[in-house]
Amino acid sequence: MQKILVSACLLGNKVRYNGADLFFESPILKTWIDQGRVVSFCPEVSAGLPVPRSAAEICGGNGGLVLSGKAKVIEKNGTDVSKEFINGAQLALKVCKQQNITVAILAESSPSCGSNTIYNGKFSNIKIAGSGVTSSLLKRHGIKVYSQYEICKAAESLK
């Protein structure tokens, strides 16, 4: 059965910047877990960033522009973590390729995992349309990326 990449925080792992999870209750997700199809992954922790860590946002664009060096991921304390975010995205892609994964459910609005929205880079709690760094790289490689709110669409696409 086809496996699905899922943001680790959505599965209850406390890997978010603030040490919390983003547990998402879903019968569809539970079925996939029971079937052994879910591959849990956190790009930021996989790239070596600690928990907790400073909040980060994409400044000057979106995940695609970070990948091409035209925008940056900056922590609230001013540290440029673009390299780590790109590394995390590449590691996510590697896992997808190794396990023939073509569908991912990633946490909406994260600078790594957001697939429809991200924050505007000003730490003002305002969202804009756009994808995070990992979502952008996966999409570029033909992987269908859905947020947790689109899990029914994801299930449809696996049929």
- Closest CB to ligand SF4 among residues 107, 145: 107
- Closest CB to ligand SF4 among residues 81, 159: 81
Instruction: Classify each residue of 53-63 as buried b or exposed e, where b means 16 or more C-beta atoms within 10 Å of its C-beta.
Output: beebbbbeebb
Of 36-44, 54-62, 74-82, 122-130: span binding ligand SF4 (CB under 6 A): 36-44
Q: Is 4 a binder of ligand SF4 (CB under 6 A)?
A: no
Q: Is 137 a binder of ligand SF4 (CB under 6 A)?
A: no
Residue 9 CB, nearest approach to ligand SF4 (Å): 3
Residue 100 CB, nearest approach to ligand SF4 (Å): 21
Contacts for 34 with CB less than 8 Å, ≥ 6 apart: none
> How many other CB atoms are found less than 10 A from the CB of residue 64?
19
Report the C-alpha gap between 13 and 7 in whole angstroms. 9
The amino acid at 139: K
How far, rounded to the nearest angstrom, does the alpha carbon of residue 96 sit from its chain's CA centroid? Answer: 13
Residues 64-123 that bind ligand SF4 (CB under 6 A): 107, 110, 112-113
Q: Is 136 a binder of ligand SF4 (CB under 6 A)?
A: no
Size of the site for ligand SF4 (CB under 6 A): 12
DSSP assignment of 16-75: STTS-------HHHHHHHHTT-EEEE-HHHHTT--SS---EEEESS-HHHHHTTSSEEEE
Residue 70 CB, nearest approach to ligand SF4 (Å): 21
Binding site for ligand SF4 (CB under 6 A): 7-9, 15-16, 42-44, 107, 110, 112-113
